[in-house]
Amino acid sequence: RAASDIEVAAGVSTTTDREFTRVASVAWLPELRQLDNAVLRADTGLVFVDGRGHVPGRDLRDDVWVGFVGLRYERTDNGLSLGGAVGLQSGETDALSGDPQFITTVGWRWGSFSLHLRHISNASLHSPNDGETGLAAAWRF
C-alpha cells in the first residue's frame, strides 16, 4: 500500500514578465478514499522555487520554499488530476510575497509518470502578488 504514495517533480516556473526559473517538489499522497473512477488523496509536501538572481526592477532573487497541505482528486479512467492546497513559505520575492500561499494543480497521469501545471499565489492578501505558474514532470514511487 505504501507504493505510489511519494511523488517527486521538477520543471520550470514563470511569473508576470516571463522570468523563468527552476522548480522542484516532493509530496506524500496517501489515499483517503476510493470514489467511482477516482481516488481522493491527501497532498502534503514541499515546493522549491529557485531564485532568479538580478532581474532589473524586480525582486526575484530569493530561493523560496513552500510547505503545503491539501487534497488531490485523481481520475482512474482518464488520468486527470486536480489539486488544491494551502502553504507557508520561507524566502520572499515579488512573485511569492507572503503567507498563506494557495496552490492549485491540474495535470494528467500515466502510470507512475505525470505532468502538472501548478499555480502558487497568495490571492492578493499581500502585495505584490505576481504568483508563480509552472510546468513540471513528476514520478511517483
The predicted-structure confidence for 32-45, as pLDDT tens digits, reads as follows 999 999 999 999 99
Centre a 10 Å sphere on the Cβ of residue 83 and count the other Cβ atoms it contains. 21
Mean pLDDT of the chain: 94
* Residue located via cell numbers 526592477: 57
**Chain-centre distance for alpha carbon 25:** 7
Question: Radius of gyration (Cα) for the chain, nearest Å?
Answer: 15
Q: How many CA atoms lie within 13 A of 67 on its CB side?
A: 2
Percent of the chain clearing pLDDT 90 (strictly above): 87
Q: Shortest CA distance to 120 belongs to which of 45, 42, 40?
A: 45
Sequence-distant (≥ 6) Cβ neighbours of residue 16 within 8 angstroms: 95, 130, 131
- Quick check: 127 pLDDT over 50? yes
Q: What values do phi and psi take at 14, rounded to 5?
A: -135, 160
pTM above 0.75, yes or no: yes
pLDDT digits (tens, 9 = 90+) for 69-103: 999 999 999 999 999 999 999 999 999 999 999 99
**Across 10-31, average pLDDT:** 96
